Amino acid sequence: MLRPASAALLLTLSLIGCADDRRAERLKAAGPNPTLEKLMTVADAKAGARLFGTCAACHTSSAGGPDTGGPNLHGIYGQPIGQHSARFGYTAALRAKGGNWDDKALDAWIANPQRFVPGTKMQFSGIPDPLARADLIAYLRSLSD
C-alpha cells in the first residue's frame, strides 16, 4: 500500500518529463555517469519548484511560513541539520546527525531519508532520480536569503 506522500511522488516523477523539455539536454551536458557536482551545474530551480509541490504536502517554503507536518524549509540551505526551526519537533536521530544542509547532505536525505538518518519520522520514500534531486536542491538553495 502506498503512503499518500509516496503516491504523490510517483505522480510527480511521472510528470517530470512532461514539465521539463530540456531534461535530456541537461543530462547530456552533465556528462556520462554525472556526479552530484556536475548535476548541480545543470540543475533547474524552476523544475525543483514544481517538484516541491510534492513536498508541500508537509512543508512550507515561504519566509516566516509555519511548520506543518514538517518544518518550514525557507532558508534551510547551509543550516545545521535538525536545528533549522526552533518550533519543530525534530527526532533525536536528526538532531544528533550533525553537519549542515549542503548539496551532499540534501541529496542523501532526498534520495532516502531513512537511510540518511535511521530513526527519522519523515514518512517519505525518497526520490530516486539524481537530476530531480539536484533540481530540488537548486530550488532549496534559491530560498536562502
Calculate mean pLDDT across residues 72-94. Answer: 96
Position 8: which residue type?
Answer: A
pLDDT digits (tens, 9 = 90+) for 106-140: 999 999 999 999 999 998 999 999 999 999 999 99
Calculate mean pLDDT across residues 30-39. Answer: 96
Q: For the chain, what are the domain ranges?
A: 4-142
Contacts of 135 (CB under 8 A, 6+ apart): 20, 43, 44, 45, 47, 48, 51
Cell of 11: 505522480
In the chain, the percentage of residues whose pLDDT exceeds 90 is: 83
pLDDT score of 145: 65
| CATH topology assigned to domain 4-142 | Cytochrome Bc1 Complex; Chain D, domain 2 (1.10.760)
Calculate mean pLDDT across residues 69-79. Answer: 97
Q: In a 3-state reduction of DSSP, which class is residue 140?
A: helix
Calculate mean pLDDT across residues 84-107. Answer: 96
Asked if the model's pLDDT at residue 2 lies above 80, the reply is no
Contact (Cβ atoms closer than 8 angstroms) between residue 91 and residue 121? yes
Q: Is 109 exposed, middle or buried (0-12, 13-18, 19+ CB in 10 A)?
A: buried
pLDDT digits (tens, 9 = 90+) for 79-89: 999 999 999 99
pLDDT digits (tens, 9 = 90+) for 6-24: 444 444 444 444 456 799 9
